[in-house]
Amino acid sequence: MLKNLVLPLLLFSPLLASPAVADEPVRSSVVIFAPVAGWTTNEADYMAGPPGRQSKKTLKEDGALGGIFLMYADDDLSVGNLGHYSNLEQSQVMSYMFFVRYYLARIGTFRPMVGLTADYIDIHSSIPREDARPFFSIDMVNTVWAFQPAIGVSWEYKSFRAVPFVGYFNERVNVDLYSPGMPGMAKGAPPQPGFRTEVSETLDYVSLGSHLEFRYSHFLRYDGKFYFRMREGENALFTVRNRLDLLLARTYGISVRADYFQDKVESNFFAVAGPVLVF
């Protein structure tokens, strides 16, 4: 349901410039648009049951995914976002990511960088009787907001660029569980009442990672990002984003992307591909 993706959407790094033509000036800025489709796997942990009798459960499912990427980039600024939607066996997942990166004045082969990334994930799950026993059913709404300001240094060598960075990662998680109840304990007994549980948590992390960019000739580009999130007393969480672009001409090409995102209550992997339009 791509009609749900109403925000302008992203992806593609400043190196995603189209091949230059000999008699044509090199562009100082580009706008990139890419509709994509692919596959996603989502896994979420939750506590189910009335107070005092809760147990940990895991919902794991996969399905088709559709999305849109949109980005503007020039020599100093990259800004854009991505959005995707998937309708899984028991859940509907909506996700948006926005980013902006600004590169300051060059110092030899180095350029300081400041950036901001914001993520939003919304998961609505309806768990049927066979998976929710002893309850009639369970409805779960899981929302995650994440904000990551960062600073780093860009280093370039020929066709390769690395931007190691350090940042602050703020994650706000809200889980809302509802069940209409469960059957009576004895035959003929009336159903037992249901429950509603809402848990909200704000988590602060230190993030550490790097952007990696590589291009081969004028037609093959790789853009990647990985980072760890760390906080005292917990295992580090990992995120990686990979994109490979094959530009067939100055104004179009093909893009393949694979992302993995991990947080305290859920993890998500998706792989997508689609055409790239460069303006």
- Region 194-223: mean pLDDT is 90
Question: What percent of the chain is modeled with pLDDT above 90?
Answer: 49
With contact defined as beta carbons under 8 Å apart, do 252 and 279 qualify?
Answer: no
3-state helix/strand/coil string of the chain:
CHHHCCCCCCCCCCCCCCCCCCCCCCCCEEEEEEEEEEEEEEEEEEEECCCCCCEEEEEEEEEEEEEEEEEEEECCEEEEEEEEEEECCCEEEEEEEEEEEEECCCECCEEEEEEEEEEEEEEEEEECHHHHCCCCCEEEEEEEEEEEEEEEEEEEECCEEEEEEEEEEEEEEEEEEEEEEECCCCCCCCCEEEEEEEEEEEEEEEEEEEEEEEEECCCEEEEEEEEEEECCCCCCEEEEEEEEEEECCCCEEEEEEEEEEECCCEEEEEEEEEEEEEC
Average pLDDT of the residues in 259-265:
84
Lowest mean pLDDT among 179-188, 216-225, 228-237: 179-188
Q: What is the CATH number of the domain that holds 76?
A: 2.40.160.40
Q: What is the mean pLDDT of the chain?
A: 84
| Calpha distance 134→179 (Å, rounded) | 11
Cα(269)–Cα(141) distance, rounded to whole angstroms?
Answer: 19
Assess whether pLDDT exceeds 90 at residue 179: no
Give 76-99 pLDDT, tens digit per residue. Answer: 999 999 999 998 888 898 999 999
User: Residue 23 has what pLDDT?
Assistant: 40
Host domain of residue 84: 2-278
pLDDT in tens, 40-49: 998 877 665 5
pLDDT at 177 over 80: yes
Whether residue 35 has pLDDT greater than 90: yes
Taken in order 91, 259, 66, 79, the sign of the CA dihedral is: positive
